[in-house]
Amino acid sequence: MSQSKQSLPQVLVIDDDETIHLWAKRHLTKAGFSLISALNGKEGLTLFEKNDPEIVLVDIDMPLLDGFGTCSVIRELPQGKNTPLLIMTGTEDAERIAKSYSSGATDFVVKPINWKVLIHRLQYMVKASQVLTKLTKSEMRLSKAQQMAKLGHWEWNSCTGHLFWSSEIYEIFEVNPEQFIPDQQGFLRMVNVADKPFIESSLNQALIDKEPKIIEYQIITGKNRHRFLTQQIEILENQHKQTIGLAGTIQDITERKVQEIQIRQLAYYDEVTGLPNRTYFLELLEKTMAACKENNQGFVLMFMDLDGFKGINDTYGHHTGDQLLKMAADRLSCLLRDTISPNQTPEHAFPADIARLGGDEFTVILNITQRQDAVRIAEQLIAVMAKPIVISNQTIFVAASIGIAFYPEDGADSETLLKNADIAMYHSKKVNKGGYQFFHSSLNVKAKKRQDMESQMHQAIAKNELRLYYQPIMDAESGTLIGAEALMRWDSKQLGFLMPNDFIPLAEENGLIVKLGEWAIREVCHQHKEWQQQDMGHLSIAVNLSSIQFSQTNFIPMVKAILAEYQVKPDFLVFELTESTIMKDTDKMLTILWQIKEIGIKLSIDDFGTGYSSLSYLKNFPLDSLKIDRSFVKDLPENVNDGAIVQAILSLASTLSLNTIAEGVETSQQKQFFQDSSCKSIQGFLFSEPMPVADFKKYWQTKRT
């Protein structure tokens, strides 16, 4: 019999994008969740109070009340204290993610959403939340029971040394009243060795201060079982107000202590690696700073990120990714086992404070202040992480990029220090993957510039700042203009005129490449519609696609919708993809490529020869043309090796019935080389640089006459 709708875990989805609700309904309901939908933060709060869902998915950017505000308000509600809040973001921007956590988010997920992975995360979060709720309720019931229960009573006469126990205490200690003599020495023999000095001191201090005390300690019972006890101590006086001993109660709180440990484990430790989590780390960082400030000491914070982890996770699966994180954590712990943490005393050498901040990010707090020591440890970390990892008979290689910040020089507060270590890590990842970078003030300038660019990028389409420039593609034999490649430019009022290399890499990092790519396809279709009316409709137009855009689940429907909107036939359109794009997931890519071909759009491999160059994908994928990379063209015809490579590519393309385009043709000698070959089309500065649409139209008119 199917599970009733009322018993299904409820997921409240708050997002102003109705598409998200459609996808959520499609995937989450099949996975056994009941769905509640809200289109803005205020509506979401109303539904949250009404339905009390098990988990909440909330988008950051929404009207009326954004995701940060929504999370903050939910956390203030009585039923919202422990509800898992998963915030949805279009980017992996560190500041937005940090703000998500500070607003109360449990975790975050990056759009576009991998629903299969998300379902597993939701199921785990719901399970963890249910366990936490049960433990909390159990703790409340136990607390109430303790108030009502009759507790074991004891009395100790300081003059005679006689100790009286009630029957309940004998049961707690699991000893036979007929065989065990309850004197002070017998009692202390059953107390955990580490707690004995504390108990003796507490009893003596109670006699001196003549004030009641409550202490907690651990015993080993007569049946060799460990138990946690709480003991209340009161002063015993005679009729003359003279102290004659102590009295009080003892209660077994083992169950409560175990629950507290379990709750602490859930709240402060990462389930995958067993390391302290982000919450624990941030609290520890504050304590470390306070202690070092008081003692006028410094320390080092390292921020480590695993390079290529996302690709490994996507290729081998979530389970393998978790195993990789666990092994990385083990290597960290093993390497730093003998490194003294600033939170420990030199007499007790404990491992450095290591935490998993989230995803594939780890932090390390080290009790060192010298740059050379930081270099030594960073190099050791990088070396140990670079060693191959074998998981399920698969040999996996991963590298680590590390950012290093010193307290207090690089940040006198936890937020600044962590941010600067992250900035240094990002810089290392960008310029020297598998390396380390010390923070310095100039990195802040670069980070600010990057942040400003990203902020402006979000508004580029709305402000109509994007431009498409068109570079002519010529028939190699006749010299006739047969098409153009559309290349994006950004004419920003704040940042100036930017070339693709200035902003496309950032757009791919933050996910905005999806919107930019959609705008480019829409603009090309619009331009083709105009060219049809100007007798230029026969020209093909090539558009470069990012692997991120190409892998979107709504990519095919989006392309069909744009073609229908402008009422244009698809045969003019050419999608250019790199070899690395289509080789990421060959089965999935093969399906998508055939869907594109069924629409009627042509497919071309850009920069051919610089990637995989695998004959198998050329044979199996429905391609129309290969574009020979400019690196093989620039030294023609003088470079014999380049000439041989180009001839081999042309021969291969001819055998597979693929058209060829040579890009980067800049001299008449290069033009002649390709005219004497089987190459079909050529483009390059010899004919024209990429130009605005108005100039391209003039160029076409000159070629026409």
Residue 461 lies in a domain: no
Kindly tell me the sign of the dihedral angle through the C-alpha atoms of 104, 110, 115, 118. Answer: negative
Beta strand 389-391 pairing with 394-396: antiparallel
- Written as six digits, the tokens of 349 are 């050498």
In 196-336, alpha helices (H): 196-209, 254-268, 278-294, 309-316, 318-335
Provide mean pLDDT across the span 275-286: 91
Kindly report the average pLDDT of the chain as a whole number.
86
- pLDDT of residue 277 exceeding 80: yes
Residue 608 lies in a domain: yes
Residue 445 lies in a domain: no
Q: What is the CATH number of the domain that holds 160?
A: 3.30.450.20
Residue 552 lies in a domain: yes
Domain of residue 41, residue span: 5-136
- Cβ neighbours for 309, distance < 8 A, ≥ 6 positions apart: 321, 324, 325, 359, 360, 398
- The CA distance from 670 to 663, in Å, is 10
Residue 121: band (very low, low, confident or very high) from pLDDT cuts 50, 70, 90: confident
Do 552 and 597 sit in the same domain of this protein? yes
- The CA distance from 51 to 13, in Å, is 12
Do 305 and 174 sit in the same domain of this protein? no
Q: What is the CATH number of the domain that holds 90?
A: 3.40.50.2300
| 350 backbone dihedrals φ, ψ, rounded to 5° | -105, 160
Do 208 and 253 sit in the same domain of this protein? yes
Number of other residues whose CB lies within 10 A of the CB of residue 490 = 22
CA dihedral 362, 366, 371, 375 (to 10 degrees): -50
Specify the DSSP element, H or E, that contains 36.
strand 34-38
Helices and strands, number each (H, E), in the chain? 25, 26
Residues 191-243: tens digit of each pLDDT: 999 999 999 999 888 888 888 899 999 999 999 999 999 999 999 988 888 88
- The CA distance from 648 to 294, in Å, is 71
Q: Is 11 helix (H, G, I), strand (E, B) or coil?
A: strand
- The CA distance from 106 to 273, in Å, is 17
- pLDDT of residue 513 exceeding 60: yes
Provide mean pLDDT across the span 694-702: 92
- Cβ neighbours for 542, distance < 8 A, ≥ 6 positions apart: 473, 483, 484, 485, 486, 574, 575, 576, 604
Residue 349: band (very low, low, confident or very high) from pLDDT cuts 50, 70, 90: very low
Do 677 and 610 sit in the same domain of this protein? yes
- Written as six digits, the tokens of 658 are 């693929």
Q: What is the CATH number of the domain that holds 309?
A: 3.30.70.270
- The CA distance from 633 to 610, in Å, is 13
Residue 193 DSSP label: G
Residue 627: band (very low, low, confident or very high) from pLDDT cuts 50, 70, 90: very high
Is residue 434 within 8 A of residue 457, CB to CB? The reply is: no
Residue 15: band (very low, low, confident or very high) from pLDDT cuts 50, 70, 90: very high
In this prediction, residue 705 carries a pLDDT of 61
Do 395 and 305 sit in the same domain of this protein? yes
- pLDDT of residue 594 exceeding 60: yes
- pLDDT of residue 447 exceeding 80: no
Residue 493 lies in a domain: no
In this prediction, residue 46 carries a pLDDT of 92
Do 37 and 120 sit in the same domain of this protein? yes
Residue 334 lies in a domain: yes
pTM of the model: 0.49
Do 240 and 117 sit in the same domain of this protein? no
- Written as six digits, the tokens of 273 are 């690696």
Show which of 258, 285, 316 is a domain's final residue.
258
In this prediction, residue 584 carries a pLDDT of 63
Residues 32-65: tens digit of each pLDDT: 899 999 999 999 999 999 998 989 999 998 988 9
Residue 590: band (very low, low, confident or very high) from pLDDT cuts 50, 70, 90: confident
- pLDDT of residue 461 exceeding 50: yes
- pLDDT of residue 26 exceeding 80: yes
Do 656 and 683 sit in the same domain of this protein? yes
Do 426 and 478 sit in the same domain of this protein? no
- Written as six digits, the tokens of 429 are 């990842």
Residue 481 lies in a domain: yes
Do 419 and 477 sit in the same domain of this protein? no
Number of other residues whose CB lies within 10 A of the CB of residue 18 = 10
Do 248 and 281 sit in the same domain of this protein? no
What angle separates helix 414-431 from helix 441-457, to the nearest 10 degrees?
A: 80
Residue 301: band (very low, low, confident or very high) from pLDDT cuts 50, 70, 90: very high
Q: Which H, E and C letters describe 522-565, residue by residue? A: HHHHHHHHHHHHCCCCCCEEEEECCHHHHCCCCHHHHHHHHHHH
Q: Tell me the CA distances in angstroms from 408 to 70, 424, 433, 491, one per residue in order.
A: 34, 16, 27, 41
- The CA distance from 265 to 269, in Å, is 5
- The CA distance from 68 to 522, in Å, is 33
Provide mean pLDDT across the span 663-667: 94
In this prediction, residue 350 carries a pLDDT of 35
Q: Tell me the CA distances in angstroms from 252 to 9, 131, 149, 256, one per residue in order.
A: 36, 23, 11, 9
Kindly tell me the sign of the dihedral angle through the C-alpha atoms of 128, 133, 134, 140. Answer: positive
Residue 570 DSSP label: G
Residues 62-101: tens digit of each pLDDT: 988 999 999 999 999 988 888 899 998 888 788 888 888 8
What angle separates helix 67-76 from helix 41-51, to the nearest 10 degrees?
A: 30
In this prediction, residue 264 carries a pLDDT of 78
Residue 166: band (very low, low, confident or very high) from pLDDT cuts 50, 70, 90: confident
Beta strand 602-608 pairing with 625-628: parallel
Residue 177 lies in a domain: yes
- The CA distance from 581 to 623, in Å, is 14
Do 116 and 197 sit in the same domain of this protein? no
Number of other residues whose CB lies within 10 A of the CB of residue 495 = 17
Q: Tell me the CA distances in angstroms from 111 to 88, 154, 357, 623, 626, one per residue in order.
A: 7, 63, 20, 29, 32
Is residue 537 within 8 A of residue 531, CB to CB? The reply is: yes
In 32-93, alpha helices (H): 41-51, 67-76
- Written as six digits, the tokens of 204 are 């003596």
Provide mean pLDDT across the span 688-702: 93
The total domain count for the chain is 4
End-to-end CA, the chain: 77
Beta strands in 322-456 (DSSP E): 353-358, 361-366, 389-391, 394-396, 399-407, 436-438
**Pick from 307-316, 431-440, 631-640, 655-664: least confident:** 307-316
- Cβ neighbours for 292, distance < 8 A, ≥ 6 positions apart: 298, 299, 342, 407, 408
- Written as six digits, the tokens of 667 are 């001299």
